[in-house]
């Protein structure tokens, strides 16, 4: 590797990390021990996510602790204590009861990051109904697909979003019985109701009914390259993973202020923007507004953020802005920065060390895993470009599919193959709603096959190579787009890169890179040739791109992943497929 490992000595720790002895903790680990650190419902009533994240802290001295600090787009700030959050989520649970919404029935949300979203999430879970968040930027068609496939009974949204995206859909969604408007004081009709009115009339007292840990709790939709969106089913037992990763990966401690920038419409925004921090009783910052480099850095300073969880897109945008945050803002309280959404290029990890005073910790997981599976930890060496090492209780392997439909495990270091996880972790998805066959195909021989290609080095660190369907076959070589993107990111002119394989009769596919430049650099033939030579020197002629095109912006999902397959479709004039998760430009 060209990058040196980054370490932090014990003398520089401001707080002793929760996770300091990887080998010992992994050797002694059991999920039963994690379960013993949670409360469980009283009188043997099972396990409910909302109780572990809210109600167990809404008593005694911790009841007055701020659970949510909400920053509005207009500059307003609202604090909600754990006692407030318990009362408001109880009110929402009672609203569902009054509407005769029962166990297992789906309650969808379509909104920005507004307080009512969090009341609805925990109130839904308390009622043993199923919470399903959607991106507010979705268009009518992807919204209709998800509401229909998810058997939506209730939708929480706003007046503007209802008028713009939902009202015309109602005739095609006969199962959608109620729409609750979070910002309306008046009912529009007998099915489109004012949520503030309903909450005001509801009791702040609610007893969570017995909840089996395997009861369905969350439904997250994920898009593939073809076909309709898949609804991944998660259960209340997933809270064990949320809690454990909050402890060992996010390294949360009492008194911390935590900020996850992810929208709740994707799984990170729910697992780590709603649930995980509150299972540790910390203050969870919620920012309604979208990214703006200087405002985000000011928020880190003014809100005294200790642990920050963001996306590679935001980090690259900060890098692209040319800002040096530590020179302008006091970030002395910031202890740990994490990134997720797509692999973090090595240059970005090192940039964090220089610009933020600490490396950025990458981690890997998927909608289907429900929580972080592989991570870089606060007290461990970071190898820039690596996704890190598996969480305790998670067995990860590199496998190869054989012609008989089975798999073979790769036991040699640095060999490339598909990343697989041994089944059985608590937040593993339990199905794709209404698609059992598709779900079964994800598993072979007791392993979940992720569809991601990776390598594992001799020390157990995993390195992302690319999606199996992104791999480029060129002149007999298998080229991972991420490797090429990371190399080009090292050039001082480059802000972002997306790499695809372009069909070429002689060599199968040629490697083509789409490059967005940093401010101060202009597109030119000279720069294009310079980048081609730079990549060839870094990667060799077999791997380096043969073509480079400049672009103002790369198509990305709202979770920050560069949509390589969309780049490829546009390059080849193919159908774009499902673009419901495409970030608006």
Q: Which of 68, 403, 408, 31 is nearest to 241 (CA)?
A: 31
How many Cα atoms are found within 13 Å in the side-chain-facing hemisphere of 62? 19
Written as one string, the DSSP assignment of 341-385 is SSPPPHHHHHHHHHHTSS-EEEEE--TTT-S--EE--TTS-B-TT
Tens of pLDDT, residue by residue, the chain (585 residues) = 344 566 664 445 678 999 999 999 999 999 999 999 999 999 999 999 999 999 999 988 899 999 999 999 999 999 999 999 999 999 999 999 999 999 999 999 999 999 999 999 999 999 999 999 998 877 787 888 899 999 999 999 999 999 999 999 999 999 999 999 999 999 999 999 999 999 999 999 999 999 999 999 999 998 654 457 889 999 999 999 999 999 999 999 999 999 999 988 889 999 999 999 999 999 999 999 988 889 999 999 999 999 999 988 788 888 888 888 999 999 999 999 999 877 788 888 889 988 999 999 999 999 999 999 999 999 998 998 899 999 999 999 999 998 888 999 999 999 989 999 999 999 999 999 999 999 999 999 999 999 999 999 999 999 998 877 787 878 766 677 887 898 899 999 999 999 999 988 777 789 999 999 999 999 999 999 999 999 988 887 778 899 999 998 898 876 677 888 889 989 988 876 655 655 654
pTM, two decimal places: 0.86
Q: Which of 481, 474, 510, 521 is nearest to 498 (CA)?
A: 481
What's 268's DSSP letter?
A: H
CATH superfamily placement of domain 10-20+34-456 = ANL, N-terminal domain (3.40.50.12780)
Write out the two tokens for 486.
Answer: 């990371």
Domain ranges of the chain: 10-20+34-456, 470-572
Q: Which of 417, 419, 420, 430 is nearest to 370 (CA)?
A: 430
CATH of 470-572, one of 1.10.579.10, 3.30.300.30, 3.30.870.10, 1.10.240.10: 3.30.300.30
Domains 10-20+34-456 and 470-572 fall in the same CATH topology: no
**Alpha-carbon gap, residue 224 to 247, rounded angstroms:** 31
**Alpha-carbon gap, residue 531 to 494, rounded angstroms:** 9
**Alpha-carbon gap, residue 12 to 17, rounded angstroms:** 11
Q: Residue 123 to residues 116, 117, 204, 311: CA-CA distances in angstroms?
A: 10, 10, 11, 28
Q: Classify residue 528 as exposed, middle or buried by CB count within 10 Å of its CB (0-12, 13-18, 19+).
A: middle
The CA angle 426-427-431, to the nearest 5 degrees, is: 110
């Amino acid at each position: 590797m060209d990058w040196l490992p980054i370490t932090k000595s014990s003398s520089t720790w401001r707080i002793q990390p929760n996770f300091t002895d990887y080998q010992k903790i992994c050797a002694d680990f059991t999920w039963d021990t994690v379960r013993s650190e949670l409360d469980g419902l009283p009188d043997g009533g099972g396990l409910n996510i909302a109780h572990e994240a809210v109600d167990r802290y809404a008593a005694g001295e911790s009841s007055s602790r701020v659970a949510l600090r909400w920053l509005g787009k207009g500059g307003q700030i609202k604090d909600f204590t754990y006692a407030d959050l318990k009362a408001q989520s109880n009110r929402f649970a009672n609203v569902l009861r009054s509407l005769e919404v029962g166990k297992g029935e789906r309650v969808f949300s379509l909104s920005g990051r507004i307080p009512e979203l969090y009341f609805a999430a925990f109130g839904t879970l308390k009622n043993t109904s199923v919470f399903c968040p959607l991106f507010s930027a979705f268009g009518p068609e992807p919204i209709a697909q998800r509401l229909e496939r998810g058997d939506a009974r209730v939708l929480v949204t706003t007046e503007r979003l209802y008028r713009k995206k939902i009202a015309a859909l109602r005739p095609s969604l006969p199962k959608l019985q109620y729409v609750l408007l979070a910002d309306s004081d008046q009912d529009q009709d007998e099915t489109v109701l004012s949520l503030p009115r309903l909450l005001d009339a509801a009791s702040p007292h609610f007893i969570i009914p017995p909840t089996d840990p395997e009861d369905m709790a969350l439904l997250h939709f994920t898009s593939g390259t073809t076909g309709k969106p898949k609804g991944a089913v998660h259960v209340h037992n997933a809270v064990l993973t949320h809690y454990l990763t909050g402890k060992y990966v996010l390294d949360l401690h009492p008194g911390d202020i935590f900020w996850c920038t992810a929208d709740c419409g994707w799984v990170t925004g729910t697992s780590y923007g709603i649930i995980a921090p509150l299972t540790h009783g910390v203050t969870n910052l919620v920012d309604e507004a979208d990214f703006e480099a200087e405002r985000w850095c000011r928020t880190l300073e003014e809100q005294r953020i200790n642990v920050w969880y963001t996306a590679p897109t935001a980090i690259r945008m900060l890098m692209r802005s040319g800002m040096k945050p530590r020179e302008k803002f006091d970030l002395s309280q910031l202890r740990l920065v994490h990134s997720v959404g797509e692999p973090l290029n090595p240059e970005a990890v090192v940039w964090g060390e220089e610009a933020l005073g600490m490396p950025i910790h990458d981690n890997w997981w998927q909608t289907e895993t429900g929580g972080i599976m592989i991570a870089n930890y606060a007290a461990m060496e970071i190898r820039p470009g690596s996704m890190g090492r598996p969480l305790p209780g998670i067995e990860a392997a590199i496998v190869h599919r054989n012609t008989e439909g089975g798999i073979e495990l790769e036991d040699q270091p640095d060999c490339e193959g598909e990343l697989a996880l041994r089944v059985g972790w608590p937040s593993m998805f339990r199905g794709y709603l209404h698609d059992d066959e598709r779900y079964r195909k994800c598993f072979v021989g007791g392993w979940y096959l992720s569809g991601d290609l990776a390598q594992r080095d001799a020390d157990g660190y995993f390195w992302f190579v690319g999606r199996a369907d992104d791999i480029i076959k060129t002149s007999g070589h298998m080229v991972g787009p991420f490797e090429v993107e990371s190399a080009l990111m090292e050039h001082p002119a480059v802000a972002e890169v997306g790499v695809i394989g372009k069909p070429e009769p002689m060599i199968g596919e040629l490697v083509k890179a789409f490059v967005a430049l940093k401010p101060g650099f202009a597109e030119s033939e000279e720069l294009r040739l310079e980048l081609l030579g730079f990549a060839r020197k870094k990667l060799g002629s077999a791997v380096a791109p043969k073509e480079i095109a400049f672009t103002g912006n790369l198509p990305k999902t709202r979770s920050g992943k560069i949509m390589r397959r969309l780049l490829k479709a546009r390059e080849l004039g193919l159908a774009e497929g499902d673009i419901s998760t495409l970030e608006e430009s």
